[in-house]
Amino acid sequence: MLRIYDTRTRQVEDIPQARALRMYTCGPTVYRYAHVGNLRSYLLSDLIRRILERQRVRMVVCQNITDVGHLVDDAEFGEDKIAAQAREEGRSTLDIARFYEDAFRRDTAALNLRPPEHTPRATEAIDLMIELIAKLIEKGHAYTVPDGSVFFAAESFPSYGEISGNRLDALKPGHRVEGVDPRKRFHADWALWKHSHRELAWDTPWGGRGFPGWHVECSAMSLRYLGEHIDIHTGGIDLRFPHHEDERAQSDSAAGHEVVRRWVHGEHLLFDGRKMAKSTGNVVLLADVADEGLDPLAVRLAFMEHRYRHQMNLTWDTLRAADRTLRRWRARVAEWAESPSAPLDQTAVRQAEAAFDDDIDTPAALRVLRELERDESVAPGSKFESFLHLDHVLGLDLSSEIGRVRVLPAGAAELLEQRARARQECDWAAADRLRDDLAALGVKVADTPDGQTWT
């Protein structure tokens, strides 16, 4: 059984055993390329899915595409991020949204993130949002103002703040240049619908044209595609407040009960000790990693060296080390594939799977693999089966070099094992002699900090 940290209850909780589970993941706002910090959040939901699917659970996943409604700096006033980018690039908002949506899909595919069953776009779900807003107005949780905008009445949801700890009685009015919106009954109310005559705007039953607020999009789409009982909701830690607090208030108020069972958040990613930002010039894209000659899945491996809810400092040295490990493991798996078949190493597999189930402890699972790689008592065929079995969760394509590597000459595999053992025992004379024996067979051996490799 998977146990995972629930942000709302502030403790590790069981994910109940069931034949099918429903998970919602807050998707991208498609106005720029996703950087590797953004992508770490999406790896979290992919790992949850893979772990549960290995336990024979059918996962139904929804991940939205925000292509309208997300304002610059998440303010109540101002310009939509997509509209701002469209103006900067001299293209239409729709062109911008589709271009960066396609780029996001390519990046997630390169990281081996399994595609969700549902990926609704906000612009194609306006009717769902209008229907939800109308329901909230009818139930007394929302109110209209003369210009056709609609606000959620925060005070109508008493348990607001359970996810982030930001209770309504402690929240103070914002101090932006514009000040507090005079149309609000209470300063912490937020816009469900914003009056506007801009390019992307729609008519509403309560009068006037406009566009939806960012928070209402996720409520409307999650309720439509997953229903009123959602088992897991994931996102980055920065979404706890106000996005997930507002989303919970909207969804629960409409449904009349707690909609999401477990709220799971991934921590921030730093690069070279600083938060990634355009202003600091340290934004790293997946394309930048490939331009350095590194496999994109080295990013996935580097992420898994840390717990998802711990802040992580990524560096180029970290990525290069992950790339070396990834290439070595693929070469070893291809090498072991030539050995006689053998059963899984049950001890190693149980330890790794227990780590997965323990709040997704990927660092512990990777340590099991490293120990298994070095364990001379385990047959190569067993290592092969165990690595590929665990790669169903790790998603590192460890079998990708099978068939691409020249088959070792007869007797070379045994010499490589003997040399690895000699190096482990610091018998350097024997290691040098075995290197010469391997060279005579046409096998070139190189020693690295992570062990010997061969071509």
- Of 366, 368, 363, 326, nearest in space to 351 by CA: 368
Alpha-carbon span 200 to 389, nearest angstrom: 48
- Locate 185 and state its tokens: 């009954």
Q: H-type helices in 285-427, by residue range? A: 286-291, 297-304, 316-336, 346-357, 362-374, 380-394, 412-424
Alpha-carbon span 270 to 139, nearest angstrom: 43
- Of 340, 399, 389, 342, nearest in space to 369 by CA: 389
373 is in an annotated binding site: no
247 is in an annotated binding site: yes
What b/e sequence results for 432-445 when a residue is b if at least 16 CB atoms lie within 10 Å of its CB, and e otherwise?
A: eebbebbeeeebeb
Q: Are 171 and 260 in contact (CB under 8 A)?
A: no
- Of 52, 61, 77, nearest in space to 117 by CA: 61
- Locate 203 and state its tokens: 């008519």
β-strands 269-271, 274-275: how paired?
A: antiparallel
Q: Are 389 and 350 in contact (CB under 8 A)?
A: no
**Is the preceding peptide bond at 242 cis, omega within 30 degrees of 0?**
yes
Q: Are 68 and 199 in contact (CB under 8 A)?
A: no
Q: Are 283 and 255 in contact (CB under 8 A)?
A: no
What b/e sequence results for 34-44 when a residue is b if at least 16 CB atoms lie within 10 Å of its CB, and e otherwise?
A: bbbbbbbbbbb
- Of 318, 423, 426, 225, nearest in space to 445 by CA: 423
The 3-class secondary structure across 383-408, one letter per residue, is HHHHHHHHHHHHCCCCCCCCCCCCCC
243 is in an annotated binding site: yes
Alpha-carbon span 271 to 283, nearest angstrom: 8
Q: Are 174 and 266 in contact (CB under 8 A)?
A: no
β-strands 260-266, 274-275: how paired?
A: unpaired
Residues of the binding site = 26, 218, 243, 247, 278
Residues of the binding site for Zn(2+) = 26, 218, 243, 247
Residues of the binding site for ATP = 278
